[in-house]
Structure 1
Amino acid sequence: MRPRLKQYAVSIAMLFLSIGSITVARAGDTTMHAVNGVMDLRNTNLSGNIVSLNGEWGLYWEQLLTAINDSSGKLTSYVAFPVKWANTIVAGKPLPAKGYASYSLTVLLPKKRPALGLEVPDTYSSFQLYLNGKLFAAAGKPGTSKETTIPHWEEKTIQLDDDLDTLHLVLQVANFHHSKGGPYKEIKVGDYDTLFYKRQETQAYDLLLTGCLFMGGLFFFGLYLFGRHDKVILFFSLFCLFYSYRIIGSGYYVLHTLFPGLSWVTTIHLEYLSLFISVAFFTLYTLYLYPKDANRYIMWVEIWACLSLAAVVIIFPPTVFTQLISPFLAVMFSVIAYAFYVYIKAVRNRRLGAPYALISTAVVLLVFVIINLQYFGFVKPQKALLFTGYISFFFLQSLILSFRFAYTLNKAKKDAEEGLRAKSDFLSNMSHEIRTPLNSVIGISHMLLEEKPRKDQEERLQVLLFSANSLLSIVNDILDYNKIDAEKIRFEKIEMDLSGIARNIIGGLQSAADDKGIELRLKIDDAFINRVIGDPTRTAQVISNLVQNAIKFTKEGFVQLEIKREVVNYDNVTVTVSVTDTGIGIEPEKQGLIFERFSQADTSTSRRFGGTGLGLAICKKILSLQGSSLQLKSEPGKGSTFWFTQTFPISHLALSEETRQPALVVSKDGRKPLDSIRILLVEDNEVNILVARSFLEKWGATIDVARNGQEALDMVDPEKHRIILMDMHMPVMDGFKATAMLRQKGIRLPIIALTANLPHETAPGLAGLDVREIIVKPFVPDDFLRVILHYTGSSAGN
């Protein structure tokens, strides 16, 4: 046996040894004993004590008396009490289960005593207790036939009058509805407070345990409904819900005491159904919990056995199905024994939570052993022990499900993370594959536009260039949103000129506004004269998206970008950036929708105005991650205003007039700014080679082409080449490895990385390789030229 399994076996053995601590006592083993219908307690101290009224009671078979001296009564015999009729021998024969009878007992009480009470339990299946000729307690109504008998089960604790010194008890019992008949629980007399509080304690145990099982069942049922529909959780929840009725609806019948008007026929059906079906659900729970360790055929035989018993309960009356308790006990113990075997296998196979399942099964086996010992009268009630056993079982099983649920969540998390990685990888690859041909389309379009085409050709080329740029914008939006949604975005904290960013955006979008006949306005607060610390790229992206969105949805009128200073102190400045338009506006009920991804205010706008519906969602997320929020005020047909308020740290560097001006553009007067400069272009795509070479040679450069990293290593000559333009993704040897090997050889030429991926995807692979710049394809020719001029020490004309 494995060491761990030995440890679990020791723990289980300790549980069963606890049975030895149970006080064993036969039903008649009491200190006081009635003889010939009389119990003398005159010399008994009843202060804080309870005495069971066991012993010889007078039996009046098939007689319903109200008093011992009833002249109509004829004593049948003195018999042991409490004993079921099937075990009561009269004239050498056991009494039948169906019938009616009266029992009598005289109790002599001590003179000095506390306030006394009687605890009267239920009988099969109705009783009335008369005290000194008066009705004292009742559960149901005994009669002489099935029609005149009303069955009911309820226990009662009732206080006795203080002036009584003798108790003449007459107990009427009748049964025509159950397979068993007669009294089977002790009637007790003693200190009323002690009896009352013991009864309250018993009810509290049952109510608390029922509440734990019922609420636990509802909790796990909710996990099943709103989770991954794990059948293990479903079957355990149903087991708890059904078995919770068994706790409160049997034993001490607390439910019957709380609701005395409940139908006895209904409650006894529920009592047996809850028992049979709950064991079936426990078997299903075990089967689905460890399917690889359980024999399905054996377990399904057990399940169908329980369901067959449940079917008998539904179809037949109580006189029939109440006889099923013995065959059910055989089924139940076979279920527990086989579950024990399954859990031992699960422990050996190191299944999730198997040790707890094994120990919990040992606990429930102990519980059912004690219940059956109590049922057959071999032990006194062990309420605290049973309560502890039930709670321990439920707790251990809950641990199993908690581990299972946590394991499922972790697995789902890992699957989701793998899915996100797969999505990111897919989008990254798609970005590379789409950007590569787009580089060719946009590059050649620029080249053709600079070759003085005819008017009609120029118009077509402009359409082609616009369409390519639109496609590039869509790709960028999707990739950007994916990165932001995965919370992989990082914000720079560098000096930036917010006013300059606004001017450049307005300048860059002026032609789009002119094409639509829209006035494009810029309004900057004169008090705003400081540089701020922030992320210029992301700030420009938000503002540019808002302005482009306004232009797109405005047919006439104006679009105004305004920057207003709100609050300023020595360290920070709060700025409100707003974009106002006179466009189509947005209906109030749809204003929240436009901030959702892939959404616009109306599906028709996608056809009329185009776009992915990601722009505003990206803006909202970028601002949210920086502690700001995008606001909207709009009126249909009159226009909209989008704005956000953000606080920036101040750099304390005043803006010069030069920094307020738009950036210089490269001269297009025919001069060759790269004249006499030799460049090594490392690129495997022939179209990209054609585009790059055409621009570079037009600008005067001499180009050597290497089609992979190995060729670049063979061709590079620091004496001739001034700069290396290195594609990162190539066959034979990629740009990352080629760059590393160039640096290892001591070649310090400026290297510019060319990639169709986003900079943040490329930069980690270039860490420590002294790559001066990353240019993303497709590139804008003027920007491409500026980078080369910067690192070759040349200058552009004005």
Structure 2
Amino acid sequence: MKYHKYIFALLLLIFCINSFGSHKAYVSGPNAKNGILDLRNSSLNTKIPLNGEWFFYWNQLISPGTENFKKGTIVDFPFLWTNYEKNGQKLPSFGYATYKLNVLLPKSNTPVRIGIPDMYSAYRLYINGIQVAFNGNVSTTKENFEPYWQYQTVDINPGTDTLKMVLQISNFVHSRGGISKPMYIGFKSVIEQYRVRAISIDLFLTGCLFMGGLFFLGLYLLGNKDKATLLFSLFCIVYSYRIMGIEDYILHTIFPGMDWYITIRIEYLTLFVGVGIFALYTRYLYIEDAYFKITRFISSMCFIFSILTLVLPPLYFSQLINPFLIVMIVCIIYTPFIYLIAYKNKRPGSFYALLSAVMLMAIFTIALLNYWHLTGPLDTIIFILYICFFFLQSLILSHRVSFTLKKARQEAELGLIAKSEFLSTMSHEIRTPLNSVIGMSHLLLKKSPRPDQIEKLDVMLFSANNLLAIVNDILDYNKIEAGKVSFEHIEMDILLISKNIMNGLKGSAGDKGIEIKLSLDKTIKNKLLGDPTRITQVLSNLIHNGIKFTKEGSVELILFAKEQTEKTITIEFRVKDTGIGISAEKQKLIFERFTQADSSTSRNFGGTGLGLAISKKILELQNSSLNVESIEGQGSDFYFIQTFEKCLQSTKIESASITISSEEDQPLSGIKILLVEDNPMNVMVAQKFLERWGAKTDIAINGLEALEMVDPKKHSLVLIDLHMPVMDGYEASKKMREIGIKLPIIALTANLPKEVEDKVMKCGIDDIVVKPFLPDELYRKVLHYVFKKQ
């Protein structure tokens, strides 16, 4: 109900404008009596219609001053002779006639002007015996006849007190003969003002419609491919012709001499086609609510009428307007009915559609009343209604596009969530069996295998680690795209990080016979604040990339301090290799995801092509950029520059030694650990490692069983999987803490630490070991928490 008051207010406004427009456009004046219009006591400060009783002479083209004027018939002007009964017979459309009127003017030295509308279908106007205006060629025969429609004006000399008007009209092409619109007289400035207003309104509306049509056509072609948008754009373009191509015939004034036979067809075609397009537009706008049979009836009839307009002569297709009014009335009733249903069903933009239907009904109603001569054109109200109608229709489509975009965004967000969940799930499912593969490979390598077995185990371990790296890359890129990457701002030793990375990749370089070098700037003396994990990831990606694409020679990591202050240092990181290099045109391509400079390289060197893309995005998120200088066949130089805050503590390249018992010493002898894991293969791998280090294990296959088995007097540590049936590791750990168990709890999970660390901390879990775990990592963490407890 909240919209009803707005609808009522709008209708009231339209009524007020209608009253004002009607008063301004049609000020009633005296009517002619017996062929004489007396305006001597009238003011010409407004336009006065030359209506009333004119003398009419059928089938006579009488020149001024002829005595035959005495034998005329009195008719009510403006007058169409079509079907007029004279001497008991109806007059045909084709023919010619003369109209005569004498006008008595008031005494005035102000210039006076007469406005002459179009007539069916050619005319000549004489005033005081002089031809002052004509359209087309008036003739008594079809052969010499030439039709044309254009607005004309005639200026009357100041001081003239009497106008003896003789109007000759002939028609041999149209179904209507004579004149249906009044001529007007008034001061020149008044008539000129009305004409300028009419031209301005028509040009403004035409421009709005045509440009609006082009806008929505562009929207359709370049964007949403919505049929409703396309149909509305076509309707606007088609209907824009009717604004300036009919009624006042502004187009004929701008381009005089246009072929009448072409323009009359376009006039009717734009009506028939426009209504058909609008019916289809209504259907596709609210396709769930529209009635297909009614739409098909309207569009089919419009199509038939359009074809007839193209093939029939004007005499016949101009008669189609009366039967077509039935189609228009059906459309006028059908459109708001569909909009009302759509509004009840709460369709997007249906409220605006309902308001626009009110505008449309008002436009067509006024048009019909004007056609039946029950009212005048009402220019002002028609102008306001058109503006309101097309503005509301634009709001409908804008709301529709906005709704579609909002829906697409929601679907995209759901898709991203689904993708993220899928990747997370797949990561977990892939990491779980990889844990067994990598774990068993390490165990077999510890059991002094034969040289041929060592080679096969190394291949298996290398392949498993490669698969793990691919999974990690995909997950990292997904997190970066989703905007879920966070950066730490903690103390780090950049020199030690660099040395550890190079030491870790020595094996890979040595296998290929490649030398790796580390060049460190001695002026870097402080520890820095940053994210050690991310800088390690970037440098590891770049160095690993260099090793992968280098067959011989070296890969070198260079750290150079470009600028230092007391608080900050700017370091340039460079990774140089003597590998295959990259051509200039492909140097930007390599930073795209899943892309390598040459499609063959993925087969020759392997990899997902995500390493550089991930590194580039990580650096961009830290206000840095990854660059490359390369010559094909000679090697590549990847570099980036990053500024860090300094710490007070100085850095040392050699790390402090950490004394840890050897695994062979079985440092966990006498220790019992509760292992909670539902996967038998993972149970076997973890159990074998723990037994190798001297520990004994109790096995629980879910969280509920672990709660029943855990015993602080017997167990020194709990290793627990997070995802298990019956009760998961989160819930079990939380309940252990609630019942007062203070044993160290280490989570074994295939999830990445960042994904679960918040939830893990809330459950009271002390640490995380990510599957597939390296034996050394599990060994160090178990040893740390067991002896810490003691």
TM, length-normalised to structure 1 = 0.92
* Aligned AA (2:696): T
Say which of 184, 200, 203 aligns to 2:199.
Answer: 203
- Structure 1's unaligned 5+ residue stretches are none
Q: Deviations over 1:673-709 (max 9, x none)?
A: 3333322211111111121122222222222222211
Against the structure 1 CA distance between its residues 19 and 205, is the aligned structure 2 distance closer, same or farther, given a 3 Å change threshold? closer
Where 1:173 maps in the other structure, the secondary structure is: strand
Contact 1:114–1:191 under 8 Å retained in 2: yes
Aligned partner of 1:556 in structure 2 is 552
Aligned partner of 2:682 in structure 1 is 688
Where 2:762 maps in the other structure, the secondary structure is: coil
Q: Deviations over 1:351-402 (max 9, x none)?
A: 3333332232122111111122222222222112111112222222333333
1:53 maps onto 2:50 in alignment: yes
Aligned partner of 1:281 in structure 2 is 277
Measure the CA separation in 2 of the matches of 1:8 and 1:550. Answer: 70
Where 1:670 maps in the other structure, the secondary structure is: helix
1:674 maps onto 2:668 in alignment: yes
Residue 13 (structure 1) shift: 7.1
> For residues 527-606 of structure 1, what are the structure 2 equivalents within 5 Å?
527-606=523-602
Contact 1:57–1:81 under 8 Å retained in 2: yes
Aligned partner of 1:425 in structure 2 is 421
1:653 maps onto 2:648 in alignment: yes
1:443 maps onto 2:442 in alignment: no
1:504 maps onto 2:495 in alignment: no
Aligned partner of 2:636 in structure 1 is 640
- More off after superposition, 622-631 vs 435-444: 622-631
Measure the CA separation in 2 of the matches of 1:104 and 1:538. Answer: 98
Measure the CA separation in 2 of the matches of 1:603 and 1:508. Answer: 29
Residue 346 (structure 1) shift: 3.2
Aligned partner of 1:252 in structure 2 is 248
Aligned partner of 1:173 in structure 2 is 169
Measure the CA separation in 2 of the matches of 1:15 and 1:276. Answer: 31
Residue 123 (structure 1) shift: 1.0
- More off after superposition, 351-360 vs 472-481: 351-360
Q: Deviations over 1:600-633 (max 9, x none)?
A: 1111111111111111111122222222222222
Measure the CA separation in 1 of the matches of 2:577 and 2:433. Answer: 36
Measure the CA separation in 1 of the matches of 2:107 and 2:602. Answer: 98
Against the structure 1 CA distance between its residues 666 and 273, is the aligned structure 2 distance closer, same or farther, given a 3 Å change threshold? farther
- More off after superposition, 259-268 vs 326-335: 259-268
* Aligned AA (1:472): L
Against the structure 1 CA distance between its residues 446 and 14, is the aligned structure 2 distance closer, same or farther, given a 3 Å change threshold? same
Measure the CA separation in 1 of the matches of 2:660 and 2:461. Answer: 20
Over aligned residues, Cα RMSD in angstroms?
2.9
Residue 742 (structure 1) shift: 0.7
Aligned partner of 1:706 in structure 2 is 700
Aligned partner of 1:222 in structure 2 is 218
Contact 1:68–1:104 under 8 Å retained in 2: no
Residue 560 (structure 1) shift: 1.9
Aligned partner of 1:31 in structure 2 is 29
Against the structure 1 CA distance between its residues 310 and 523, is the aligned structure 2 distance closer, same or farther, given a 3 Å change threshold? same
Residue 754 (structure 1) shift: 0.9
Measure the CA separation in 1 of the matches of 2:26 and 2:627. Answer: 84
Say which of 329, 341, 344 aligns to 2:337.
Answer: 341
Aligned partner of 2:711 in structure 1 is 717
Aligned partner of 2:611 in structure 1 is 615
1:763 maps onto 2:757 in alignment: yes
Q: Deviations over 1:291-331 (max 9, x none)?
A: 44343223322332222222222221221111111111111
Q: Deviations over 1:434-475 (max 9, x none)?
A: 111111111111122222222222122111111111111111
* Aligned AA (1:693): Q
Residue 6 (structure 1) shift: 7.1
Against the structure 1 CA distance between its residues 19 and 317, is the aligned structure 2 distance closer, same or farther, given a 3 Å change threshold? farther
Contact 2:703–2:726 under 8 Å retained in 1: yes
Contact 2:142–2:172 under 8 Å retained in 1: yes
Contact 1:63–1:73 under 8 Å retained in 2: no
- More off after superposition, 592-601 vs 282-291: 282-291
Contact 1:673–1:794 under 8 Å retained in 2: no
- More off after superposition, 431-440 vs 278-287: 278-287
Against the structure 1 CA distance between its residues 773 and 124, is the aligned structure 2 distance closer, same or farther, given a 3 Å change threshold? same
Contact 1:12–1:362 under 8 Å retained in 2: no
Against the structure 1 CA distance between its residues 561 and 169, is the aligned structure 2 distance closer, same or farther, given a 3 Å change threshold? farther
- Structure 2's unaligned 5+ residue stretches are none
Contact 1:499–1:660 under 8 Å retained in 2: no
Against the structure 1 CA distance between its residues 666 and 336, is the aligned structure 2 distance closer, same or farther, given a 3 Å change threshold? farther
Measure the CA separation in 2 of the matches of 1:492 and 1:121. Answer: 81
Measure the CA separation in 1 of the matches of 2:47 and 2:696. Answer: 113
* Aligned AA (1:656): T
1:488 maps onto 2:484 in alignment: yes
Residue 599 (structure 1) shift: 1.2
Residue 184 (structure 1) shift: 1.6
- More off after superposition, 610-619 vs 561-570: 561-570
1:295 maps onto 2:291 in alignment: yes
> For residues 32-181 of structure 1, what are the structure 2 equivalents within 5 Å?
32-46=30-44, 48-64=45-61, 68-69=64-65, 76-86=72-82, 90-91=86-87, 93-132=89-128, 134-157=130-153, 159-162=155-158, 166-181=162-177
Residue 75 (structure 1) shift: 6.1
Contact 2:305–2:320 under 8 Å retained in 1: yes
Measure the CA separation in 2 of the matches of 1:159 and 1:642. Answer: 85
Against the structure 1 CA distance between its residues 501 and 118, is the aligned structure 2 distance closer, same or farther, given a 3 Å change threshold? farther
Residue 228 (structure 1) shift: 3.9
Residue 161 (structure 1) shift: 4.6
* Aligned AA (1:602): D
Where 1:562 maps in the other structure, the secondary structure is: strand
Measure the CA separation in 2 of the matches of 1:319 and 1:22. Answer: 38
Aligned partner of 1:376 in structure 2 is 372
Contact 1:174–1:181 under 8 Å retained in 2: yes
Aligned partner of 2:730 in structure 1 is 736
Against the structure 1 CA distance between its residues 794 and 354, is the aligned structure 2 distance closer, same or farther, given a 3 Å change threshold? closer
- More off after superposition, 240-249 vs 596-605: 240-249
Aligned partner of 2:464 in structure 1 is 468
Say which of 393, 399, 404 aligns to 1:403.
Answer: 399
Measure the CA separation in 1 of the matches of 2:342 and 2:626. Answer: 55
Residue 164 (structure 1) shift: 5.2
Against the structure 1 CA distance between its residues 426 and 14, is the aligned structure 2 distance closer, same or farther, given a 3 Å change threshold? same
- More off after superposition, 489-498 vs 287-296: 287-296
Q: Deviations over 1:461-510 (max 9, x none)?
A: 11111111111111111111112112222222222222222222111112
Measure the CA separation in 1 of the matches of 2:169 and 2:526. Answer: 99
Measure the CA separation in 2 of the matches of 1:481 and 1:516. Answer: 28
Measure the CA separation in 1 of the matches of 2:250 and 2:566. Answer: 74
Aligned partner of 2:511 in structure 1 is 515
Measure the CA separation in 2 of the matches of 1:575 and 1:699. Answer: 43
Against the structure 1 CA distance between its residues 110 and 766, is the aligned structure 2 distance closer, same or farther, given a 3 Å change threshold? same
Contact 1:24–1:378 under 8 Å retained in 2: no
